[in-house]
Structure 1
């Protein structure tokens, strides 16, 4: 390791709890972001009082400006715990961990509770600014007239999510952008389906072996992730039709893309003193991290990890083979394959990542051993805490000095990557 490590030599991640993940519109259809967050926060708080709490939500709730602080009250936590919210698309609770790491050891803090939640079953509909201003002005002068005006609103007065979750700059969805990526990097449909199948097989293996038992907290009558498919196969995946590019050139389907998902997840971030409060649970060192950003229209909106991974590895003089575990967020199978293909290309590393360092061959057999977002699900703000907790549990069972890379791509052309090490 280089001297970089010395700056982060007492930062630790301990696995947190999460709800089972479930498809949007399913078993959690009547749950809110708060109702999914409360049992997770209560169970974590029962283990130890954090010095502060960070919580995130990507799809906003208009009734809450700071879901983290509202969670402290709604969950009945110690009200003297400071709490603030954060957001970075799919990397929301991941960047919350990085924020917490920057605060630990300062201001008398030793332990942070970080997490996130998404209820993708519920999509807010907002008034357009002109309509909202008109109604609010009427309420000030004549509440009865304002209520009557509300009843007369039409579609032109509303911001309707008719395009689904589209990027504001491009007006296109992540799936449409990733179709561009798949074509640019010649990622075949068969490769994508195979990666999806491996994800489901890993998740089912984890459920059968009990790997998830101490990570998943039963909530609302659900005690396990409901998305992993025991009966899926390459043949079944091959029968699904493309959903973003419906021409003969389309390759992304409902089977090789992460599903709309509801769920909440958490993780602990602390120093040695913080771990003592938790009873010294299995934990891993947070060695270093990298946040990358790029132009969204260059090669696809989810390709920033291809820049971040080489930068982080080269900073520590590590090759791909030096990493025992790779936990990579599976927004789309094509995005995982394309990011690694790009990061493995010396020309790409030099030109896009600014790294001239030989990383060697990539060990695909070390990727997501217990499944990823394709099979487990992807509640935007919860995914970072889920994937980091999963990696921390997997890595803590490996020999001392074993390393992991955790990577999450995010809408807007951004990505977060962390280097972890077993104690």
Structure 2
């Protein structure tokens, strides 16, 4: 196999994750990301990556190329190029795919990939009309011009734009869309709460076993994820009120079975075989075999359903079934969305008529899913989740027998998503 056709992922580092306005509310996106980049660079022992990508979803007028600004602040050699990526929840995962296409084994062999989100520092902007009026006011050359312009400002123009997690086209939040999916797929509240409980229990167990010790660095005095709960139970989860459908009496999504707004940053290495030589041999690494990036019609399909289309197509291309995959890392935007995906993957009718895969993929092995917890318990900083979930998968899969496979999937706003097939080698 040529160097260009063989791409590897090596596990990276991340900050602890914390709820918005919680334990990581003081550092901004730079305060979260720069320590991660610096810790990643320290692993190279004086060597350098060939390029860097970094991403964040929440907009900010203080920068345009976030990746470059973070690299400059981190003290990286400024001859190393960097660029910024955005694809909602899959931001740093699609960066991995982009890097995989750029590495060629001929001088481009190692990329530092990552992203972050500081939801505690989301910038509030002026409405467009108010912003334009203020800009023209500042450009006025005399006091008289400014006085005359006061009459141009209407009360209806005076408003602020507050970033939300609602889809622009539909006007609905991710939770509202997922409520629709849950009703369409007949997903029950108790099943969602069981997924959420397992996520917390597995995350807490992962920390207690030391699984996360080599993946997480302390930042701002925080050394461990602050979201996982040791005391949650099905009974406690069952008492929570619906968060997105509060009026019909049929709402099933709650704060307990949904991922929270989260602060944090994460990174991962993407390399050719040559690039791996720059990394410590102790770092877990696996092969990136294949990937899918796609989208669905948001008006006629569930907004977060695309992985249920991409996973079977990826499996069919490699003549694999669901049980041929030893590790499943499915992003838990909502427990309901995970259950919608599983139900679809086990439906020959959906596979044939929707995904275009005319074969029965068998039973989904839930016992192999998210063995160290998922986004409901760990948290979901939009720009960081891709690198977080991939690093987790790399470490888990690398400890399995040679030839073991993993599927990693992330759904995103806009009806899009990403899926990766990894292999221990």
TM-score (ref. length: structure 1): 0.95
What is the aligned partner in structure 2 of residue 302 from structure 1? Answer: 304
**Residues 6/235 of structure 1: CA separation in 2 closer, same or farther (3 Å cut):** farther
After superposition, what is the alpha-carbon deviation per residue over 1:71-92, rounded to whole angstroms, capped at 9, x for unaligned?
1111111111100000000000
- Residue 39 in structure 1 maps to residue 35 in structure 2: yes
What is the aligned partner in structure 2 of residue 260 from structure 1? Answer: 261
| 1:367-386 equivalent positions in 2, closer than 5 A | 367-386=369-388
CA distance in 2, matches of 1:8, 1:204: 39
Mapped contact 1:177–1:301 kept (Cα < 8 A):
yes
CA distance in 2, matches of 1:143, 1:217: 54
2:330 to 319, 328, 342: 328
Mapped contact 2:261–2:380 kept (Cα < 8 A):
yes
Greater CA deviation, 293-302 or 21-30? 293-302
CA distance in 1, matches of 2:323, 2:184: 26
- Residue 53 in structure 1 maps to residue 49 in structure 2: no
Mapped contact 2:127–2:158 kept (Cα < 8 A):
yes
**Residues 396/351 of structure 1: CA separation in 2 closer, same or farther (3 Å cut):** same
For structure 1, the 5+ residue unaligned runs are none
CA distance in 1, matches of 2:68, 2:206: 34
What is the aligned partner in structure 1 of residue 195 from structure 2? Answer: 195
CA distance in 1, matches of 2:275, 2:20: 35
What is the aligned partner in structure 2 of residue 290 from structure 1? Answer: 292
Mapped contact 1:138–1:146 kept (Cα < 8 A):
yes
- Residue 75 in structure 1 maps to residue 74 in structure 2: yes
Aligned partner of residue 85 in structure 1, secondary structure: strand
Task: Give the CA deviation at 1:142.
Answer: 4.1
CA distance in 1, matches of 2:319, 2:104: 27
Aligned partner of residue 277 in structure 1, secondary structure: coil
Task: Give the CA deviation at 1:197.
Answer: 0.3
Mapped contact 1:125–1:158 kept (Cα < 8 A):
no
After superposition, what is the alpha-carbon deviation per residue over 1:112-171, rounded to whole angstroms, capped at 9, x for unaligned?
00000101112222222222222112222249887997xx99784334338x31100100
After superposition, what is the alpha-carbon deviation per residue over 1:180-203, rounded to whole angstroms, capped at 9, x for unaligned?
000000000000000000000100
Task: Give the CA deviation at 1:344.
Answer: 1.6
CA distance in 2, matches of 1:412, 1:28: 28
Mapped contact 1:57–1:92 kept (Cα < 8 A):
yes
Mapped contact 1:8–1:288 kept (Cα < 8 A):
no
What is the aligned partner in structure 1 of residue 129 from structure 2? Answer: 130
- Residue 398 in structure 1 maps to residue 397 in structure 2: no
After superposition, what is the alpha-carbon deviation per residue over 1:374-405, rounded to whole angstroms, capped at 9, x for unaligned?
00000001000000000000000000000000
CA distance in 2, matches of 1:32, 1:101: 29
| 1:3-18 equivalent positions in 2, closer than 5 A | 9-18=5-14
- Residue 25 in structure 1 maps to residue 21 in structure 2: yes
Aligned partner of residue 384 in structure 2, secondary structure: helix
2:411 to 405, 409, 412: 409
CA distance in 1, matches of 2:299, 2:176: 11
What is the aligned partner in structure 2 of residue 100 from structure 1? Answer: 99
Task: Give the CA deviation at 1:360.
Answer: 1.0
CA distance in 2, matches of 1:63, 1:356: 50
Mapped contact 2:4–2:105 kept (Cα < 8 A):
no
| 1:227-238 equivalent positions in 2, closer than 5 A | 227-238=227-238
